A and B are shown apart, each in its own frame.
Chain A
Amino acid sequence: MAYDIAIPEEHSKSLQDYLDAFRRRGAFAFKIALAVLVLGLVVIFLWPNSYKSTATILIEDPEVPPGLVPTTVTTFAARQIQYINQRVMTRTNLAEIIEKFDLFQKQRRYLPTLMLVDEVQKFISIDLVDVQLADPDRPSQLINSTIAFTLGFEHPNPEVARKVTNELVSLYLNENVRARTEQTAQTSEFMQAEVNRLDTGVREIEGQIAKLKQENEGSLPQQTPVNQQMLQRADQELLDIDRQIRALSESRVLVDAQLAQIEPMKTMTMPDGRGVAPPADQLRALQSQLAILEGRYSPDHPDVQRIRRDIEALQLEVGNDVRPENSAAQLADLRGKLAMARERYSDDHPEVARLLRQIASLEANRAAVPAERPNRSREEPNNPVYIQVQAQRKNLDIQEATLRGQRAEVQARIAQYEKRIGASSEVERELSALMRRLETASASYQAARGRLFTAQMGQALETQSKGERFTLVEPPDLPLQPSSPNRPVLLALLAVLCLAIAFGLPQFAESMDSSVNSARAVERVQGSPPLAEIPLIQNTEDMTHKRNMRLYALVFAPVAMIIAAVLVHFFVINLDVAWYVALRRLGM
C-alpha cells in the first residue's frame, strides 16, 4: 500500500485523487454552480426580449436579355448591395431613423444621436443569399451568385422592429433605383456630350475641306486629268496655229514676190503705143542709165544732168523708199560700233558720245520718215492686178494677226493649265491630310454614336425598370418569437457552465492548492499514510460564526451592493450611462 519512494504528485493523479478532490470540495463547487445556475436563469429569463423583423429582397435578372440590350450597370449584385449599403447606412440616414422611430430613448437623454449611429448599425443585419452556379465561361467552376438578400432589424418592440425594417427596405429599394438610373443617365449624358464634341470636330474638318476645295477650284486632284487633257489639246492647238502662221508667211512671201513683180501703176500706154513704165521702174532705169552715163561722161554732161534731174523728179514722185532700209542698216551698224566702243571706252569718251549723237539723229530721221511715206502713195496704185494681189496680201496679214491673237490666247491657256497641274499636288497633299483627319474623326463619331445608342437603351431599360432590380418578395413581418436572447442555447450553455464549475472547480482548486490536504498527500510527502485523520471539529462558536457569516453574506452583501450602486448612480455617474459607456469601451 505504502509507496517506497515519493512520487511527484502531478504525475500520479489517479481516479482516487479526483474523487478525493471532489469529495473535499464538491459541496463548495456545487454551491457556486448552483449560484451561477440561479443567476444565469434569472438573467436568461429576465433579459429583455428582442424581436427581429426581416424582409427578403430578391435580385431579379433583367427582363430584357443582356445580350439584346446590355445594361450599363455592370457591377455584381453583391457589390451593388454593398454599394447601396454604404449609401443607405450614412450617419444622416441612421440618425433620421433613430429620431423617426424614437430608438434608444434612454441613451438619447444623455448622448447625442450621432453617437448612437454606430449602435443602431449593430441591430441592422444584411444577409446575402448566395447560390452556387456553374460559371457560364468555365463550366467546371462554380461561382457564388447572389440571388437575394434579407434585411433585418432587431428591437425589443416587435412593431418598432417591423417599422424600422420597412423603412430600411424602402431606403434600399429607392437607393437602388436611384443609383441605377443615375448611373445610366450619367452614362448616356456623357456619351451625348462625347458625340456632340466629336460632331463639332467632324464639322470643322469638313468646313476646312470645303474651303480648301473652293480656294483651289480647278487644281483639285480629281480635276488633274481634265487639266492635262486640256493642256494637251491647247498644245495641239498651238502647234496647229503655228503651222497655219508658217503657211501664211509662206503665202505672204509668195504674194510679196508677186506684188513686187507687179507695178502698182498701170502701164500707161502712150499714144505712140509705147508703154510708159511705172515711175519706180523708170527711176531704177534712170539710175542704172545714170550709172552708165556717169561712167561715160562727166557729171556736167547734159545727159547726166538730165538724168539727174529726172531721177530727182522721179524720186520726188516715188519717194526714196530705199532710205529706210539704209537707215536701218546704218543704225544697226552704229549700235554695233557703240557697243564695241563702250567695251573699250567709258561712256563719256568722245567716240561714244559721237556715236550716241549719230544714233539719235538717225532715229530721229527714221521717225520722220513715216510722215514722208504718204509721199510714196501719193499716187494710188491703179493696177487692178496689183490691187488684187495687194488685197490678197492684206487678207493674209489679217489672218496672221488673227492667228497670232489665237496663239497668245492658247499660250495663256497652256500657262494656266500648267499652273493648275503644278498646284494640284500641293492641294492633294493638304486635302488628303484633311481627309485622313475627317476619316478618324468620323470613325470616332460613329463609334460614339453607337455607344450613345446603347447607353440610351440601357437608360430606357433602367427607367422602365426592366433591368436587374430589387424586388421585395417578403415584406417585413411582425416577429412573434423573440430572436434574442436565444434561450435554449443559453440554457444549454448555462448547464454546461454549471457542470464545468461543479466538476472542474474542485480539481482546479486542488491543483492550485499546495497544501497537504489528504491522506494521500501526506503519504506522498512522508512515504507512509498518516496515523489518523482528524476531522475539523467545530464548536458552537464556530457554528455561530459561520452562521453569522452566512447571514452577513446573504443580507449585507446585497444591501451593500445596492447602496453602493445608488451612491454611484446619484453622486458619480448615472448607471445607465455607465453601463453604456462600459459597453462602448469594450467595443461591444
Chain B
Amino acid sequence: MERIRKALEYANRDRPPGAEKQGADGTVVGDFTAGLRYTYTKVVEVPHRVMLENRLIAAVPSHEFKDAYRMLRTRVLQSLRDNNWNSVAVTGPASGCGKTLTAINLAISLAMEVTHTVLLVDLDLRKPSVHQYFGYQPEAGLSDYLFRDVPVHQLLFSPSIERLVVLPGREEVQNSSEMLRSPKMVALVNELKHRYPDRLIVFDLPPILAADDALAFAPYTDAMLMVAEAGGTSREDLQKAIAVLKGVPMIGTVLNKAHAARRKPAYYRAQGAKA
C-alpha cells in the first residue's frame, strides 16, 4: 500500500489529476478521485449554491437547461474525435455574449463524461474571470507562470468537479496578445495539449472583435467555438468574426441566451432531470 501510494505520488507530481481512469465506470471514478487526484492539485470546494448563482448549471444535478450543454458537449466531442483534436477555444464576437460561462459549462459538461479529463484554461489575459465563477481567488494565475516562473501545477485548482482542472488567470496583463504568442506560452500550450492523450483542453479566449488576442492565439488551438448572444450579437458582428477566423477550424456556433430553447418539450426536460 505504501509503495503504491509513493509510486502514484511520483507519477502525479507534475501532472494534473484524473489521468488514469479511462474505461472505469462511475463508481470506480468516484472512489478513485476522492483518494488520488488532488495530491498536487488544489481542490476547491465549490458549493452548488455558488455554482447555481454563477449559472454553472452543467454541474448542478438536475437543471432544466442542462440538456442544452449536454447537446453542446456531444457535438463538440464528436467534432473533436472526428478530427482527432483535443483542444477547443471558446470565443465570441464581442464581450458580454457569455463565452466564459459557455466555456466553463462546456468544460464541466465535458468532464461529466468519464472517458477523459478536462483542463479549462483562462486565456482572457486582459480580464481573467474564470475563477470568479467558482467563487475562488487563486494565489497564482497564468500571468504568474509567464512572468514569475511559478510552476504550472501550482496554478491549477479543481473546483470539486471530477475530471475538471482549471488553469486560472489572476491579474490583468497589458500586452496580452504578445504574451499569448510568446515562446513560453506556446511551449505551455504544447505541453498541455500533448501531456495526456485523453485530456481535452478548453481555452477561454477574449472576444475576437475587441482585440487581436483570439486571432493571435488561433494557430495554437485545434478548433474554435463561437458563442453568439441571441438578441445581443448583431449579424454583422457574427459575420465579421467568422470572416476574421477564416482558415481556423471552426466547430461551430453556440447560440447563447436563446429564447426558443426555453420552450423545450416537457418530455426532454423530464428526461434531462432524471438523467
Q: A522–B76 contact, CB under 8 A? A: no
A534-B255, A535-B257 in contact; A521/B235 too (CB < 8 A)?
yes
Q: Which of B226, B231, B235, B257 has most A Cβ within 10 Å? A: B235
Residue contact A530 to B53, C-beta cutoff 8 Å: no
Q: Mark A520-544, 1 if CB is under 8 A from B, else 0.
A: 0110111010111111110111000
Known A525-B242, A526-B242: A535·B262 in contact at CB below 8 Å: yes
- What are 30 A-B contacts with C-beta separation under 8 Å? A20-B260, A24-B260, A25-B259, A515-B234, A516-B238, A517-B231, A522-B238, A526-B226, A526-B238, A526-B252, A530-B228, A530-B253, A530-B255, A531-B75, A531-B76, A531-B251, A531-B252, A532-B72, A532-B254, A532-B255, A533-B230, A533-B260, A534-B261, A535-B262, A537-B57, A537-B65, A539-B53, A539-B54, A540-B52, A540-B53
**B65/A535 in contact, CB under 8 A:** yes
Do B235 and A534 have beta carbons less than 8 Å apart?
A: no
Q: What are the residues of chain B within 8 A of A526 when measuring CB–CB?
A: 226, 238, 242, 252-253
Partner of A532, one of B55, B68, B234: B68
Contact partner, B69, options A514, A517, A522, A534, Cβ 8 Å: A534
**How long is the Cα–Cα vector from A539 to B233 in the complex, in angstroms?**
22
Chain B residues numbered 210-257 whose CB sits less than 8 Å from any CB in chain A:
225-226, 228-236, 238-239, 242, 251-257
Question: Which range contains the number of A residues in contact with the other chain?
Answer: 20 to 34
List of B residues within 8 angstroms of A525 by Cβ = 235, 238-239, 242
CB-defined interface of B107-125 with A at 8 Å, one 1/0 digit per residue?
0000000000000000000
Closest to B70 in A: A532
CA distance A514 to B98 in the complex (A): 19
**Residues from chain B with Cβ under 8 Å of A517 in the complex:** 230-231, 259
Contacts of B3 in A (CB 8 A): none
Cα separation A544 to B57 with both chains bound (whole Å) = 18
Instruction: Give chain B residues whose Cβ lies under 8 Å from the Cβ of A541.
Output: 53
Q: B253–A522 contact, CB under 8 A?
A: yes
Q: Does A23 make an interface contact (CB < 8 A)?
A: yes
Nearest opposing residue in chain A for B57, CB measure: A537
A4 at the interface (CB under 8 A from B): no
Asked if A80 is at the interface (CB within 8 A of a chain B CB), the reply is no
Most buried by B among A20, A514, A533: A533
Q: A539 to chain B: which residues have CB within 8 Å? A: 52-55
Q: Within 8 Å of chain B (Cβ to Cβ): is A518?
A: yes
B69 contacts A515, CB within 8 Å?
Answer: no
Interface residues of B (CB under 8 A from A): 52-55, 57, 65, 68-69, 71-72, 75-76, 98, 101-102, 105, 225-226, 228-236, 238-239, 242, 251-263
Nearest B residue to A521 by beta-carbon distance?
B235
**Is A272 in contact with chain B by the CB < 8 A criterion?**
no
Cβ of A343 under 8 Å from chain B: no
Q: In the complex, are the beta carbons of A519 and B236 less than 8 A apart?
A: no
* Complex Cα spacing A266 to B226, Å: 198
* Shortest beta-carbon distance from A526 to chain B in Å: 6
Roughly how many angstroms separate A515 CA and B98 CA in the complex, as a whole number? 15
Q: Do B234 and A516 touch across chains, with their CB atoms under 8 A apart?
A: yes
Instruction: Give per-residue flags for A535-573: 1 if the beta carbon is below 8 A from chain B beta carbons, else 0.
Output: 111011100000000000000000000000000000000
Contacts of B260 in A (CB 8 A): 20, 23-24, 518-519, 533
CB of B96 to closest CB in A, whole Å: 12
What are the residues of chain A within 8 A of B258 when measuring CB–CB? 518-519, 533-536
Contact B65 A516 (CB under 8 A): no
**CB nearest neighbor in A for B242:** A526
Number of residue pairs A-B, CB distance < 8 angstroms: 118
B255 / chain A contacts, CB cutoff of 8 Å: 516, 518-519, 522, 530, 532-534
**Chain B residue at minimal CB-CB distance from A539:** B53
A534 in contact with B259 (CB, 8 Å) = no
In the complex the two chains form, what is the Cα distance from A552 to B132 in whole Å? 30
The docked-state distance in angstroms from the alpha carbon of A532 to that of B70 is 9
Which of B52, B239, B253, B259 sits near A531, CB closer than 8 Å? Answer: B253
Are A23 and B234 in contact (CB-based, < 8 A)?
A: no
Most A CB atoms within 10 A — which of B65, B71, B228, B239?
A: B228
Q: For B226, what are the chain A residues with a Cβ–Cβ distance below 8 Å?
A: 526
User: A27-53 interface mask toward B, CB cutoff 8 Å, 1 = contact, 0 = none?
Assistant: 000000000000000000000000000
Q: Nearest Cβ in chain A — how far from B33, in angstroms?
A: 27
In the complex, A513 Cα to B259 Cα: how many Å? 14
**Residue of A24, A517, A532, A540 with highest tally of chain B CB at under 10 A:** A532
Chain B proximity of A506: nearest CB distance (Å)? 11
Chain A residues with Cβ below 8 Å from B229 are: 515-516
Give the docked Cα–Cα distance between A420 and B241 (Å).
134
Give the Cβ gap from A4 to chain B, nearest Cβ, in Å: 16
Residue of A24, A531, A536 ringed by the most chain B CB atoms within 10 A: A531
Contact present for A533 and B228 (CB under 8 Å): no
- Residues of A contacting B231 with CB < 8 Å? 513, 515, 517
Given A513-B231, A515-B230, A516-B238: A534 touches B257 (CB 8 Å cut-off): yes
| With known contacts A533-B260, A536-B262, A514–B234 Cβ distance under 8 A | yes
| CB-contact partner of B68 in A9, A522, A528, A535, under 8 A | A535
Min Cβ gap A81→B in Å is 63
Chain B residues in 8 Å Cβ range of A528 = 252
B256 to chain A, nearest CB (A): 5
A514 to B229, CA, bound (A): 12
Complex: A528 Cα to B228 Cα, angstroms = 14
Given contacts A516-B235, A521-B235, 16 further A-B contacts (CB under 8 A): A514-B235, A516-B229, A525-B235, A530-B255, A531-B254, A532-B71, A533-B258, A533-B260, A534-B255, A534-B258, A535-B262, A536-B262, A537-B101, A539-B52, A539-B54, A539-B55
| Complex Cα gap A513–B226 (Å) | 21
**Chain A nearest Cβ from B198, distance in angstroms:** 22
- Nearest Cβ on chain B to A538's Cβ, whole angstroms: 8
Q: Which of B52, B233, B260, B263 is packed against the most chain A CB atoms within 10 Å?
A: B260
- Most chain B CB within a 10 A radius of its CB, from A528, A535, A541: A535
> Please, which residues of chain A bring their CB within 8 A of the CB of B105?
534
Shortest CB–CB separation between residue B257 and chain A, in angstroms? Answer: 4
Q: What B residues does A540 contact at CB under 8 A?
A: 52-53
User: In the complex, which residue of chain A has the Cβ closest to the Cβ of B256?
Assistant: A534
B residues less than 8 Å from A522 (CB atoms): 228, 238, 253, 255
Q: In whole angstroms, how far apart are the Cα atoms of A515 and B231 in the complex?
A: 5
Q: Which A residues are CB-close (under 8 A) to B251?
A: 531
Cβ–Cβ < 8 Å partners of B263 in chain A: 23
- Whether the Cβ atoms of A514 and B236 lie closer than 8 Å is yes
The 3 closest A-B pairs by CB, nearest first: A532-B72, A533-B258, A24-B259
CB distance from B122 to the nearest CB of A (A): 20
Nearest residue (CB) in A for B98 is A534
Could you tell me the distance between the alpha carbons of A536 and B225 in the complex, rounded to whole angstroms? 18
Complex contacts, A24 vs chain B, CB 8 Å: 259-260
